Chains A and B, each alone.
Chain A
Amino acid sequence: QVQLQQSGAELTKPGSSVKISCKASGYTFTSYDISWIKQRPGQALEWIGAINPGSGGTGYNEKFKGKATLTVDKSSSTAFMQLSSLTPEDTAVYYCARSFGAPGWFAYWGQGTLVTVSS
């Protein structure tokens, strides 16, 4: 079955960077885009962007350009998201998700990674 296993919670300081991972299993990794989605308490979910693991091609929400960088390692079927120049507003749960059928129908989600930015 399709599984997306994310890395553990991170506690980071303002101005630093963090890289979280999403290991895929149960399907052909290069066949489906992986998206990343941000969730802050009491706020709407935000789509950060997506990466095509086969080509490495990316698409970003303009709001997150310069903040998030998406990459993959095909050899380990793992997607990564690096967040830079962290501020307290980056404190959130971050999910990776895979579509099925049309891009943007997120049928499979990782368990989420809590990133806390605090001095």
Chain B
Amino acid sequence: DIQMTQSPASLSASLGETVTIECLASEDIYSNLAWYQQKPGKSPQLLIYYANSLNDGVPSRFSGSGSGTQYSLKINSLQSEDVSIYFCQQNYDSPYTFGAGTKLELK
């Protein structure tokens, strides 16, 4: 199975700040990577797919980048509603696998 390693595990940032979350795949996944946001008690929501494509309705302050085994999610101008857990996920090979998550909090 492809292992997905996210960093950091938790992150504290101020409103208006730019934050970056990293995801490392155990092998080349050819940009077949998605990012999800999950708020407490809610289902995950798809933010980014194919490494850098923004899902409909997702604010433009979210962006994704990367290739090969290394990917990142950037949130510009952090808003209070961005406090969540963020997961990366690969769909290059079955079984689809997820990172352990990054918990984003406000400083």
Contacts and interface: CB of A to CB of B under 8 A. Distances in A.
The interface centre, meaning the residue of A35, A106, A111 with most chain B CB atoms within 10 A of its CB, is: A106
Interface in A12-65: 35, 43-47, 59, 61-63
B100 A47 contact: no
Contacts of A110: 43
Interface of B is mostly: loop
Name, among B87, B98, B99, the residue most crowded by chain A CB atoms within 10 Å (CB to CB). B98
B91 A102 contact: yes
B98 A106 contact: no
B64 to A, nearest CB: 13
A111 B44 CA distance: 9
B89 A45 contact: yes
A45 B91 contact: no
B93 to A, nearest CB: 10
Interface of A: 35, 43-47, 59, 61-63, 95, 101-107, 109-112
Interface of B: 4, 32, 34, 36, 43-46, 49-50, 55, 87, 89, 91, 94-101
